[in-house]
């Protein structure tokens, strides 16, 4: 007699039932409300002023023009004129793909100073509730931290829960560039944490930057902590759909197309960030050499080949990570598809045996971080595979296995 416990069909139906139950629970508890991020009023105002602005009697270029066009415009200006534009339109320049990165850092520093003054005033605004004043205080302190000496803020949008990106290293001269894409509950206030620092984007990026320098000291590297998208708020239906990933993918690819130089880029995408990277993969520029995901609930693709990228696709998951128990399927827009560490997906599966849980992949001293750093500096021969029969090192001297469709 056939055992129902070993029936593949029953396993599929159990997964579908589990997904349906989760949806019903979320719907009945009100968790299905999607967090929205309307276009920043301050950023929109700055962009509008730019569109109506002039320099020496000449109209300024469209801020949505191709990065190469904007790069040529800024390259034609004197240092004084570039600084003048940053002061007039700090948010516009600070978020403008094509503007020199050093100018974006300067513009965002100015925008952060303005935002800090605004929140300091709100802390003492009697029209706000106590909770509102406390929120203003938290934001004011976060802005003060971001204004610290040596911080390089590549993007900043204070509206709503906030969006931000920070660079570690010299992006303009780097020979290898890494981009860290985080998952749910990422915003201005969670961009950096004192407790469990390596579970937040700043800690992830700093740990990766240090590990890359240790792995290959002679290679100039830069790491971007990229939280310049509106992530899902918690593990609700928002996190079970691709809406935030689709919105974020547009923003991510806009940044990748505007990066200076021609250095290879490695993507490191954690949790829901791997969903975003999966959606973005097909349109990533060809300089993206590696796409590595950790703790992935799926990449909205049936296989690495279906991602449509020329990049090498890597995946890792620690045995203690709860994400292994999510239903790896997609039904009616819910769920993110196949398991990236499964043998059928076709990714190069890396060891992460000591990552400890869902957010330990960037902890210093772990196999997971060492593997990510080796990928970031191109030391592919040093990576540790998850299993002996895994072909994660195959073809590393030639063309990656996952090809653009």
Contact yes or no for 109/148 (Cβ under 8 A): no
Contact yes or no for 61/73 (Cβ under 8 A): yes
pLDDT value at 29 more than 80: no
Q: What is the pLDDT of residue 393?
A: 74
- Find, among 123, 335, 104, 144, the residue nearest to 228 by Cα: 104
- Find, among 391, 127, 392, the residue nearest to 383 by Cα: 392
Contact yes or no for 404/397 (Cβ under 8 A): no
Phi, psi of 358 (to 5 degrees): -85, -25
Distance CA 390, CA 306 (A): 20
Express as a percent the part of the chain with pLDDT over 70: 87
Residue pLDDT, tens place only, 273-283: 999 999 999 99
pLDDT value at 24 more than 60: no
Q: What is the pLDDT of residue 342?
A: 94
Average pLDDT, whole number, for the chain? 88
Residue pLDDT, tens place only, 158-193: 999 999 999 999 999 999 999 999 999 999 999 999
Question: Tokens standing for 3?
Answer: 């055992």
The pLDDT of 86-107, averaged and rounded, is: 98
Q: What is the pLDDT of residue 397?
A: 54
Q: What is the pLDDT of residue 391?
A: 73
pLDDT value at 320 more than 60: yes
């Amino acid at each position: 007699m056939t055992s129902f416990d070993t029936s593949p069909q029953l396993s599929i139906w159990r997964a579908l039932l589990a997904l349906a139950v989760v949806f019903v629970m979320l719907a009945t508890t009100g968790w299905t409300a999607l967090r929205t991020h309307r276009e920043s009023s301050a950023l929109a105002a700055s962009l509008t002023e730019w569109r109506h602005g002039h320099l020496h009697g000449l109209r300024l270029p469209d801020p949505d023009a191709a990065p190469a066009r904007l790069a040529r415009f800024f390259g034609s200006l004197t240092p004084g004129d570039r600084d003048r534009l940053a002061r007039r339109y700090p948010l516009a320049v600070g978020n403008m793909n094509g503007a020199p990165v050093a100018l974006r850092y300067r513009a965002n520093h100015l925008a952060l100073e303005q935002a800090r003054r605004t929140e300091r005033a709100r802390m003492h605004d009697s029209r706000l509730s106590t909770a509102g004043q406390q929120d203003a205080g938290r934001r004011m302190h976060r802005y003060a931290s971001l204004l610290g000496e040596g911080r390089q803020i590549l993007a900043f949008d204070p509206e709503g829960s906030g969006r931000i990106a920070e660079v570690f290293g010299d992006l303009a001269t780097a020979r290898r560039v890494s981009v860290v894409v985080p998952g749910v509950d990422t915003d201005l206030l969670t961009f950096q944490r004192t407790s469990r620092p390596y579970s937040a984007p700043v800690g992830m990026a700093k740990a990766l930057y240090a590990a890359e320098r240790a792995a290959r000291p002679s290679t100039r590297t830069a790491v971007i902590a990229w939280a310049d998208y509106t992530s899902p708020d918690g593990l609700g239906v928002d996190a079970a759909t691709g809406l935030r990933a689709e919105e974020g993918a547009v923003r991510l690819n806009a940044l990748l197309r505007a990066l200076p130089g021609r250095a290879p880029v490695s993507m490191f995408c954690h949790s829901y960030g791997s969903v975003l990277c999966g959606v973005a993969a097909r349109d990533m520029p060809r300089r993206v050499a590696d796409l590595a995901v950790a703790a992935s609930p799926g990449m909205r693709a049936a296989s690495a080949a279906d991602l449509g990228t020329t990049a090498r696709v890597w995946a890792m998951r620690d045995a203690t990570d709860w994400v292994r128990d999510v239903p790896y399927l997609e039904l009616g827009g819910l769920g993110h598809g196949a398991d990236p560490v499964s043998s059928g997906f076709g990714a190069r599966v890396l060891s992460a045996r000591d990552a400890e849980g869902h957010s330990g992949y960037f902890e210093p001293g772990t196999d997971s971080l060492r593997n990510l750093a080796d990928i970031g500096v191109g030391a592919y021969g040093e990576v540790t595979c998850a299993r002996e029969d895994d072909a994660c090192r195959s073809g590393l001297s030639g063309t990656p296995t996952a090809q653009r469709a």
